[in-house]
Every structure is written in structure tokens, then in C-alpha cells.
A and B are shown apart, each in its own frame.
Chain A
């Protein structure tokens, strides 16, 4: 028992104990770029959400006499579109649909893909082969082509656009979830949990989920950027939202004819898509490096 009273062994590390997620959160809060992006996103989200109470002009009400006013026109801060509707109002209201059709597919795919990947990775064997070979088929299509093919076949509409983007992202998230799960599953602590007599469900819940969700979540956050661009792109082609709804991709499409008259107003909706997309990308990068804690 002499070794057990060794004082060196009793010494605890200097820093107070902190959970993994608390550490990640603290590191993320120190990341100025990621926090800036989170702030911009929050601003766009909240303003889209409370748009009716912001005292903005009616985003549907046009007027023939005030078409395509330039940026900076009094009462029309960001100008007007080809039907004389207030751009600022349409951009703020546009956030509602644009964010919905851009983010919802990723959320749906996150749920479906994580479940499929977890099962494939943990159960393994024939089920894994069946799931992953099916996923491989979807990887044989470039994602833009697949989204447009499904959307094109289903026809225009918001639901079809969300469905087609979900189909595009499910295989990608499944693949990531499967590889993360397989990696964690082969770790000794999962073996040790099995050796303690726990059943598969308990091991999944206590030992797997906490270790696999983080990386999959970060990957999914990065996908939102792609999803925003693709969703607006589908609308831009005429496969998503239908006029007169304010939606950034569709606005970009209808304003294309105006580039010779009032080019910078025409470019505004795209700048919104760009801003949201780059913020999600930077936030995802920040989360990835915040989670990459080495001992």
C-alpha cells in the first residue's frame, strides 16, 4: 500500500474540472470570427421572424410609377424591384422562405442520415453493406445534378425543393455518421462497456451518441451553406418558390432583366445568400476547431 500514499499520485491538475461541451463552448466564445458570424445570422433570423412588426413596407405591394428606384432613394432605402416593391422589405421578408428552404433540408437529412449512419456503423455486417451501397449510388451523381434532376422530375414547388435537397444530403450525412460511428465503436471504451454486460441500446445511448453527434453536427452545419446556395439556386431556375413570394433566389431571377437599368439593386438578394452562406461556413469552421481538443 506504500505506493498509494505517494503524494505525486494524489495531485490533481491545476485547472478546475470542466465538461467537454463546456470547454468547447468557452473556446467557441473566444473565437471572434465565429461569434461575429453567429451575431449576423442571429440578426438575419430575428429580423425575418419579426418582419411584420418592423414597420416595413408591404413586400407584395408594387407600383408602376416607382419601378427600379436606385439604392438610397428616400423612403426606399435599398431601392425598388422591377414591379416597384420595396427591396428592403422584400429582403427582410425573403429571409423567412430562404432560410426555411435552405435549412430545413439539412435538419431533416441530419435526423435521417444520423440514424442510418449510427445503425449501419454500430450493427455492421449485412445491414451496413445494404445501407452504404445504397448511399454509394447517390454519390454517383454530382449533388447539384441530383438536386435539379429530382426537383425537375417532381416539378416546381417549395415542398419538392425541400424533398430533393433532403435526398441530396441524406447520403452525405449517412456516410459521415457511419464512419464516425465505426471509429468510435472500435474504441476500447466501447469494448469495456460491452465487457461490463451492457446491452446495445445502453451502449449507444451512454457511450456512442455523445461521441458521434458532435462531428456529425459540425458537418451538417457546413452543409447549410451549400444548402442555402442550392435552395436559392433551385428558385433561381424557377424550380422552387413561385412568384410573388419574396425569396432571395427567386428575386435574383426576376431582377435579372433589370441589370442594365439598375444593376446593384438586382445584385442585392444574392448578397444576402452569400452573407448567410459564408457565416454558416465560418461558424462551422469555428466549431470544428473548438471541438478539436487535444490533451
Chain B
């Protein structure tokens, strides 16, 4: 087990370096001189030349990458052009809000997904199954940013129950765990939860169906085990795969929050990314993507290890 963990960690190192390389190159596929992004519009030729040297844009690309990576390893992702503040601090502040949203959405999406999936798999091909699979397929097919708009139309515009945008009274101020703040979380969290809900439902339904059709379940019933006992076996066998899928979904929610955060003006990493793109704030763009991708890689690593820990079949030397 220890060796498996060590091997997985070693395997992650080249991935992390490649991810950093992709983030670095992103700025360089940008049309035009990367200097344009950091240069004031009215800059003189001398200033341009000075900045070119200062940012290292005059050096060969591999050297630039090495320097950038070296600084990134020390937590220096440069400064935002728009605000002048360090990118890392900006990103981490925003990621906090995204994590809040993702956890709330995961709680909703995973509980409904697990419930629908187990029920649909257990009562396969009955009307219960049909209802649950219909909800699931709608969940994975719906354009979630549109669903967000529809929820705003119903609950904010028509019923006026919940706020439409923001993350707390009086703009994006301090977050607190009271109803005054929580009511801002309700609609974005529900909107974010539909895709993971659909995917978890479909996965768990398929797993449950497969497990129930295996011979050992027949044997369990034959020896007189009650259905609740059978169900326990189903959960035990479905857990590793279900866990892996949920881990991956949590990662997607963290990394793919830009559309929903834009709809609800939720001040997370997605909204930050949005403003970085439209203000051509390339260091911020690069830094946000790097942090989110590393988050995702790390989460996958944790999921793999957790899966190996609970699944006896993966226990390789």
C-alpha cells in the first residue's frame, strides 16, 4: 500500500510539470507580443525595451519557462496587471469562495445522485427507475448557466424569495454562515449540483444493476440473507467506483465554475478567470488556471489513494 502511494506520487510529478508547461505556453499562444499585455497603452519605446528585459521576454522560451517555474515553486506567480496585487493572493482568496460553492453543491448533488442511483438500480426497469433516469439525463444535458437563469427568473424575479446575484448582503463582503449569507448560496449551489447529480445517478445506477446481476448476490439470497443485507453488499461493492466518480466531479465543479459564477456574480475563481480574460490580465489568467489545474491533479491523487485504500482489488504490492 505504501509503495502504491509512493508510486502514485512519483507519477504525479511529470504531470505537474506538464500542466505548468501548458499554463506557461497558454500566454505564448496568445496572438501578438506578450508584452502588450503588461504595457501601458501610451508606453514609449524605451519603457517597452526596459519591461521586455525586466519580464525576461528577451530570453529563449525554455529559459523563460525555467525562471517562471522556479518562481512559481516559491509561490510567486507575478502580479496582476489590473490590480497590481500578487496573483497568488488574489487566486487563493477567490478559490475559497469557489470551494464553499463546490462543497455546498457536492452535498446536494451527491446525496440526490446516490439516492436516485441506488433506487433506480435496485428497482431497475420499473417506473421509479424511469423517473430517476429521466432526472439524471436532464441533469447531464441541461446547459447549467441557462438553468441558473431560469432559477433566478422563478425565485428572484417572479417570487422574490432569494437574491439573484452576489455572495452576501452589500456586495461581496465577508462571508458568514448565517441565513443572510446562505440565501445567496442556495441558487448557485443548486445550479452547480445538477451535473454531478446526473452523473452520480447514472454511475450508481449502472453499478447497482451490475452488482445485483452477479452470481454472488444470488448466493447471498439463496442462503437466506435479507434484502437489507443484500443492499449492504451492493453499497460495499459500489463504493470504490462511486467514490472515484464523485472525486472527479468535485474537481470539475472547482475547475468549471466560471459559467455559473458569471451568471450569479459569485466572487470565486471562475469570476476571477472571467475578468482576467476580458481585461487581458495574462499573469492572472495563467496563475488562476495553474492553481485550479494543480488543485484538480491533487484531488485526483487523493481520490486514487482513497480508492486503493477501500478497494481490496487495487492493493498492489
Contacts and interface: CB of A to CB of B under 8 A. Distances in A.
Direct contact of A and B (CB under 8 A): yes
A145 B289 contact: yes
A142 B292 CA distance: 9
A260 B27 CA distance: 39
Interface string A243-281: 000000000100010011001101101110110011011
A142 B29 CA distance: 20
Given A154-B31, A263-B158, A281 B137 contact: yes
Contacts of A233: 143, 145, 259
Given A140-B297, A263-B158, A152 B285 contact: yes
Interface stretch (B47-55, B67-75, B231-239, B270-278): B270-278
A142 B27 contact: no
A238 interface: yes
A140 B15 contact: yes
- Chain B at the A interface: SS class: helix
A80 interface: no
A261 B297 CA distance: 44
A150 B29 CA distance: 9
A143 B254 CA distance: 11
B186 interface: no
B141 to A, nearest CB: 4
Contact of B285 (A137, A153, A252, A282): A153
Contacts of B273: 148, 152
A238 B278 contact: yes
B252 A142 contact: yes
Interface string B148-180: 011011000110000000000000000000000
A259 B297 CA distance: 38
B30 A144 contact: no
Interface string A103-147: 000000000000000000000000000000100111011111100
A140 B299 CA distance: 10
A239 interface: yes
B30 A142 contact: no
A285 interface: yes
B255 interface: yes
Interface in B1-36: 14-15, 18-19, 22-23, 26-27, 29-31
Interface in B233-268: 251-252, 254-256, 258-259, 262-263
A236 interface: yes
A137 B141 contact: no
A256 B296 contact: no
Contact of A267 (B137, B153, B274, B277): B153
21 contacts: A140-B300, A141-B19, A141-B296, A142-B296, A145-B293, A148-B258, A149-B289, A150-B26, A153-B29, A153-B30, A154-B31, A225-B141, A229-B141, A233-B143, A237-B274, A256-B149, A266-B149, A267-B153, A270-B143, A270-B145, A277-B143
Interface of B: 14-15, 18-19, 22-23, 26-27, 29-31, 137-138, 140-147, 149-150, 152-153, 157-158, 251-252, 254-256, 258-259, 262-263, 273-274, 276-278, 285, 289, 292-293, 296-297, 300
Query: Which A-B residue pairs are the 7 nearest by beta carbons?
Result: A270-B146, A142-B255, A144-B256, A278-B141, A152-B277, A145-B255, A137-B18
